[in-house]
């Protein structure tokens, strides 16, 4: 089964809620003037955890520059697209990879269980 989708995207997107640790990091980063956004993902009807789509993680982008109208080419920088909202402009951003981009899903705790069984 392929999840590749061509044409207009009519899927419903979920913006997950976050655990306290990552909320604290986001709040500090915003105080430092960084742009931060929470990654939405397409809803998966079969997922048992609707907050993360059974990925076990929720994803956050911490950015150090943007938005740009075109993908910036700056060496090894990781870039990401954001559709914009009332706080953050639409466009391309350069990620700040000194910040973590994944945090364990606070709802299903799948990531925590995986960590516990693999150690």
Under 8 Å between Cβ of 61 and 78: no
**Least CB distance from residue 55 to Zn ion, whole Å?**
7
Position among 25, 39, 64, 107 found at the interface with Zn ion (CB under 5 A): 107
Binders of Zn ion in range 27-66 (CB under 5 A) = 49, 51-52
Pick the piece of the chain touching Zn ion (CB under 5 A) from 2-10, 72-80, 82-90, 98-106. Answer: 98-106
Rg of the chain on CA atoms, in Å:
16
Residue 49, phi then psi, degrees to nearest 5? -110, 115
Q: CA separation (Å) from 2 to 6, 9, 51, 99?
A: 11, 15, 22, 32
**Least CB distance from residue 112 to Zn ion, whole Å?**
10
With binding defined as CB under 5 A, does residue 88 bind Zn ion? no
Binding site for Zn ion (CB under 5 A): 49, 51-52, 105, 107-108
């Amino acid at each position: 089964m392929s999840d590749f989708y061509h044409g207009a995207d009519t899927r419903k997107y979920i913006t997950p809620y976050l655990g306290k640790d990552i909320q604290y990091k986001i709040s500090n980063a915003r105080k430092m003037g960084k742009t931060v956004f929470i990654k939405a993902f397409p809803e998966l009807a079969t997922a048992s955890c609707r907050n993360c789509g059974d990925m076990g993680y929720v994803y956050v982008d911490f950015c150090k520059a943007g938005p740009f109208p075109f993908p910036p080419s700056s060496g090894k920088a990781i870039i990401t697209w954001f559709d914009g909202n009332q706080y953050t402009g639409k466009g391309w951003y350069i990620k700040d990879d000194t910040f973590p981009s994944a945090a364990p899903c606070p709802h299903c705790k799948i990531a925590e269980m995986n960590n516990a069984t693999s150690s």
